[in-house]
Amino acid sequence: MALLLQPSTTFPSSPTTQFPALYKIHKSTCLKPPHAFSCSNSYLPTNKFKRPYTSVMIVPTGVGAAIGGYAGDALPVARALASVVDCLISHPNVLNAAMLYWPIPNALYVEGYALDQFAEGLWALEPVHQNKVGLVLDAGIETELRMRHLQVADAARASLGLPVLEYTVTDRTLEVEKWIDPKTGQSTGRIKHPDSLLRAVQSLVDRSQVNAVAVIGRFPDDDEDSMHDYRLGIGVDALAGVEAIISHLVVKEFRIPCAHAPALLPVPLNQSLSPKSAAEEIGYTFLPCVLAGLSNAPQYLVTGSNVMEKGCIFANDVDSVILPIDACAGNGVLSFAKMKRNKPLIIAVEENTTVLSDTPDKLHIETVNVSNYWEAIGVIAAHKAGIDPNSLRKNRINNIPCRSSLSLNGSVVHA
């Protein structure tokens, strides 16, 4: 159960890197100088006296986020944020845009379950130059649609040089089911044959030693009416919930990067399509962004002796976390919020609303609430510079308080 924190008006100071005694890991062994991080921001001048500033950006999947609930529409925020921080950690829902993808040199592409494990301090992230990517296709995908996806994989190999080594087909149809939870409004679902998926991934790991996996499941095709709101940029992504379930399953079992791309038949042209949803309708597949992300996603290492010689990133290296105002109950956020040492600054964005109602006030989580991502990035810039962001606002700095007890003429005075 997460420890709930009492709200405070005190702005937390910038944390310093220290590792829990539980792991008995020496800071000097695991952390390298700023230039050792492959995710460092090469566009900003380095300061050898400071460690890299690391920020985590979260937009939960399948909750109708106003920004980030559609086809990669939070990617511009990630790009802007990455230009300010040294290292950005985010997840496929933020960084994927179906047929579109934007390489961010200092961003780490971390699957949602892995991000929760990282936040809890159970896993570390090991930046890499390249992964060996395997491709799993659902046996339920029709022959022509399967060929479309394989052609995309070949195009990514030939035109982008991505290391996609091999594909396999599941030994039976996965039978993906999806629905909207009537109580929460979130999208969710299941696959009827998860064992078939795990066997397919195991075969790739055993045969080709792949260390990242892209999964393509055959999703049920929706009629145009059921997709109407989403295509207009006002509904919940009905695919996203079960996509997360699929990737969580693989990551939990194999502890390697995984992301999912749904296989669907093309939908009829809609002249009123929202720009936020348009990236999913310009091709036959959502696979390109997944292959690009997985090609250099960090590896996941259980905290312990095997990370002693690695240039790893740990939860207490995180300086700030940015997320929607009403989506604060995720496992990762609660883990960051309950940290007693080096607790990151948590920034809640009011403009990015979801179908959830898990606000900082309800959960007694200490946050800095901002109106929009413009303000959020300004707060992070100030935090990175060692400046209290309140000092940039009108009448936000009051006289310094005194809460100590002191002895005056033999009497104790409480200020």
Banded pLDDT at 376 (limits 50, 70, 90): very high
Range of lowest pLDDT (64-78, 139-153, 277-291): 277-291
For the chain, what is the largest distance between any 2 Cα atoms, rounded to a whole number of angstroms? 90
What is the helix, strand, coil percentage profile of the chain, to 5?
30, 20, 50
Tokens 């290492």 -> residue: 301
Q: How far apart are the first and last CA of the chain?
A: 36
Computed from CA positions of residues 209, 211, 212, 217, in that sequence, does the dihedral angle turn out positive or negative? positive
Distance between CA atoms of residues 365 and 9, nearest Å: 12
Angle among Cα 342, 77, 160 to the nearest 5 degrees reads 105
Report H helices in 176-319.
194-208, 228-231, 240-254, 287-295
Reported residue count of the chain is 415
Return the SS3 of 77.
helix
Range of lowest pLDDT (103-112, 238-247, 399-408): 399-408
Q: pLDDT tens, 275-331?
A: 998 888 888 899 999 999 999 999 999 987 665 556 899 999 999 999 999 999 999
Q: What is the mean pLDDT of residues 371-396?
A: 94
Single-letter amino acid code for the residue at 362: K
Contact assessment for residue 365 and residue 336, using Cβ atoms and an 8 Å cutoff: no
Q: Which domains does the chain have, with CATH numbers?
A: 21-127+301-392 (3.40.50), 133-297 (3.40.50)
Tell me what pLDDT residue 48 has. 67
167 vs 271 pLDDT, higher one: 167
Tell me what pLDDT residue 406 has. 59
Contact assessment for residue 174 and residue 190, using Cβ atoms and an 8 Å cutoff: no
Beta strands at 133-137 and 164-169: parallel, antiparallel or unpaired = parallel
Single-letter amino acid code for the residue at 188: T
Contact assessment for residue 54 and residue 313, using Cβ atoms and an 8 Å cutoff: yes
Banded pLDDT at 269 (limits 50, 70, 90): confident
Range of lowest pLDDT (12-21, 254-263, 266-275): 12-21
Distance between CA atoms of residues 76 and 61, nearest Å: 17
Going from the C-alpha of 364 to that of each of 4, 212, 327, the distances in angstroms are 6, 37, 13
Tell me what pLDDT residue 45 has. 56
Contacts of 80 (CB under 8 A, 6+ apart): 373, 377
Tokens 């989403």 -> residue: 230
Contacts of 45 (CB under 8 A, 6+ apart): none
Single-letter amino acid code for the residue at 351: E
Tell me what pLDDT residue 9 has. 42
Contacts of 298 (CB under 8 A, 6+ apart): 39, 108, 109, 110, 125, 126, 127, 128, 257, 313
Q: pLDDT tens, 359-372?
A: 999 999 999 999 99
Contacts of 133 (CB under 8 A, 6+ apart): 162, 163, 164, 165, 210, 212, 213, 214, 291, 294, 295
Distance between CA atoms of residues 396 and 326, nearest Å: 25
Q: pLDDT tens, 7-37?
A: 444 444 444 444 343 334 444 344 444 444 5
